[in-house]
């Protein structure tokens, strides 16, 4: 809205030209989302408490018993600050902005449905895994179908480190990209088990993708770096800025010891959105590196469950996902969290290096 209100005035006041720049609007989108979430946070937490949206802690993790009753569904705070900031600073004629907002809200709705069933209706298990997966596939499938019909979008895949390998998946791109979005959404959800553990790496990944997507949307930079150009997608940098700001604002309250958890409404929407941004930036495979922490956490569950079934009840880790293993080894929660953040920064830097190492 700010973009649409002020940029046309550039003809009269040259200063307003500044609203044209994606970089300028990305920084202000970040600051706006951050300020909104820090200002709204205390009220939303009180409201969640009043509505009894509180987390029940399972007995298996004894060290988490002190967290019983912590308000959850704080992902609503991320949603309000993120969406309002994008609407304020984004170019609302850009189709990629609307598609990404659709993915964010769609995955968030699936998570909200699950949280509402668990926390408000007190049905401990929430919605069935099948219903959850069907909702995720529907949102991802519809968004990707709309995306691949955009004339500027290519179904070719970029392979990190190999600049001449670009397999064209054609229509198979649809199931592949759906897998990326649904996988990313569930991976962030599995990681969301310690204070700040999911939001930290999400902020790092969003900042990293801001660089990738700016490059993909800029014809000169894309050609110089040998990236698949996607005209118009650079505007999504503003959305990445808002995501970083909303994430940092949520971390303000979710930092150890957390005053609020994000709930599935937060984790599913954040994961799905990161997956979609990777698809938009044509960095689908690099997502595994940018979100390396989410990948390790998911692999630990796959290995643990697989080995548990094959060996008739033996375990590789003390408990999966991986963060529980370290907790049960006696490592303090805040140390595990900060170490995972450090890892996520390292992995994001490695991912950025693929821009030149090819």
Nearest approach in angstroms of CB 19 to ligand 57M is 36
Nearest approach in angstroms of CB 173 to ligand 57M is 29
Decide: helix, strand or coil at residue 180.
Answer: helix
- Cβ-contact 120, 34 below 8 angstroms: no
If one asks whether residue 262 binds ligand 57M (CB under 6 A), the answer comes out as yes
Nearest approach in angstroms of CB 100 to ligand 57M is 22
Encode burial over 227-259: b for 16+ CB neighbours within 10 A, e otherwise. Answer: bebbebbbbbbbbbbbbbbbbbbbbbbbeeebb
If one asks whether residue 319 binds ligand 57M (CB under 6 A), the answer comes out as yes
Residue placing its CB nearer to ligand 57M in the complex, 139 or 258: 258
Question: In this chain, which of 99, 112, 117, 192 binds ligand 57M, going by CB under 6 A?
Answer: 192
If one asks whether residue 194 binds ligand 57M (CB under 6 A), the answer comes out as yes
- How far, in Å, CA of 125 to CA of 119, rounded? 10
Question: In this chain, which of 233, 258, 348, 355 binds ligand 57M, going by CB under 6 A?
Answer: 258
Between the two ends of the chain, the Cα-to-Cα distance in Å is 39
Half-sphere exposure of 298 (CA within 13 A, CB side): 16
Residue placing its CB nearer to ligand 57M in the complex, 72 or 283: 72
- How far, in Å, CA of 138 to CA of 173, rounded? 16
Among 16, 78, 70, 8, CA closest to 41: 78
Residue placing its CB nearer to ligand 57M in the complex, 56 or 166: 56
Interface mask toward ligand 57M for 59-98; x: CB under 6 A: -xx--x--x----x--------------------------
Residue placing its CB nearer to ligand 57M in the complex, 119 or 230: 119
């Amino acid at each position: 809205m700010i973009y649409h209100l002020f940029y046309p005035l550039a003809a009269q006041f040259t200063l307003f030209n500044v609203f044209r720049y994606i970089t300028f609007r990305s920084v202000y989108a970040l600051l706006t989302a951050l300020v909104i979430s820090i200002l709204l946070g205390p009220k939303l937490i009180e409201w969640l408490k009043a509505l009894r949206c509180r987390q029940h802690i399972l007995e298996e993790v004894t060290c988490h018993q002190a967290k019983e009753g912590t308000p959850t569904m704080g992902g609503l705070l991320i949603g309000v600050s993120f969406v309002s900031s994008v609407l304020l600073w984004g170019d609302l004629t850009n189709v990629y902005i609307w598609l990404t907002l659709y993915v964010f809200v769609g995955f968030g709705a699936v998570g909200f449905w699950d949280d509402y069933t668990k926390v408000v209706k007190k049905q401990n298990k929430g919605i069935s895994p099948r219903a959850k997966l069907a909702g995720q596939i529907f949102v991802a499938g519809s968004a990707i179908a709309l995306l691949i019909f955009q004339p500027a979008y290519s179904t070719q895949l970029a392979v990190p480190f190999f600049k001449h390998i670009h397999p064209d998946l054609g229509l198979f791109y649809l199931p592949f990209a759906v897998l990326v979005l649904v996988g990313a959404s569930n991976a962030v959800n599995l990681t969301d088990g310690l204070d700040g553990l999911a939001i930290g790496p999400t902020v790092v990944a969003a900042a990293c993708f801001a660089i990738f997507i700016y490059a993909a949307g800029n014809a000169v930079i894309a050609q110089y770096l040998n990236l698949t150009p996607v005209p118009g997608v650079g505007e999504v940098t503003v959305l990445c800025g808002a995501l970083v700001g909303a994430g940092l604002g949520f971390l303000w309250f979710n930092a150890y010891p957390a005053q609020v958890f994000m709930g599935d409404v937060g984790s599913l929407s954040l994961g799905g959105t990161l997956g979609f941004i990777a698809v938009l930036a044509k960095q689908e495979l690099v997502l595994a590196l940018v979100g390396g922490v989410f990948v390790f956490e998911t692999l630990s569950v796959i290995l643990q469950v697989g080995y548990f079934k094959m060996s008739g009840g033996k375990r590789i880790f003390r408990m999966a996902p991986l963060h529980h293993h370290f907790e049960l080894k006696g490592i303090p929660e805040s140390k595990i969290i900060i170490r995972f953040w450090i890892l996520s920064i390292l992995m994001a830097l490695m991912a950025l290096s693929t821009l030149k190492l090819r």
